[in-house]
Copies of this chain bind each other. A is one copy, B any other.
């Protein structure tokens, strides 16, 4: 991947709201595989420097998401010796594809583990659009389970999830984010994905997750987070930022003295999380 192609790919990743942290981590690895195979470089050290630059840019593209940084760090560990640039290209591309497969498999196993925890016929409340939660729903479709989904403003990722549930044949109730607290009276369990699991056990996920966790606790139903383990943030990666998107997405006209903010994620404290379910358990 050339520098111009990388800049375009980074921009697309920064603006992407259709894919969650897990899918974007794999997209970043796919870009690195392509960079490894196609980046022009006069020698091994120049190739390594260019790949490390691409990797750093991709790892930092979505500051609320930890999986890209964790998987890319693993990928960097496998780059090895730069004496033979062609061998480095092969190792780097192979390792990127191995890590993509590992992440895909982790998502599926996390969904398996979560499916084993959800009671038969349960009504499951969620929000936004998580690949892992969608994988869980695909396992439960036709089992008597049903969903309650919040629309997830401003862009309505919850509506996209409802479309997928419709395709899966999973009955669902769709409500506004504001109405989720009331709707939760009909739910047996709340399940969300994650963008980051913080070192203290807190969870960064789509805005609204904190309110859902509060309502689940208040109503006495479990609050589960289902995620591949690569979203656990190592302490040495440093603090995580809550990404803020374009306020224009709210569709509000400019008003003197009124500031519109579109903070896209929130932090759910560990004390509200009943269980983090990964591929490991």
Contact = CB atoms under 8 A, between A and B. Distances in A.
A165 interface: yes
Given A176-B177, A207-B182, A261-B179, A255 B215 contact: no
Contact of A207 (B153, B178, B208, B255): B178
Given A153-B151, A169-B257, A215-B211, A252 B180 contact: no
Query: Shortest 6 CB-CB distances between A and B: which pairs?
Result: A178-B208, A177-B178, A182-B266, A166-B255, A181-B210, A214-B214
Q: Is the interface of A mostly helix, strand, loop or mixed?
A: mixed
B260 A174 contact: yes
A127 interface: yes
B181 A214 contact: yes
25 contacts: A127-B178, A153-B153, A153-B177, A153-B178, A154-B176, A162-B252, A166-B257, A171-B259, A172-B258, A173-B259, A173-B260, A174-B252, A174-B255, A174-B258, A174-B259, A176-B250, A177-B208, A178-B207, A178-B211, A179-B266, A180-B211, A181-B207, A182-B266, A182-B267, A214-B215
A182 B242 contact: yes
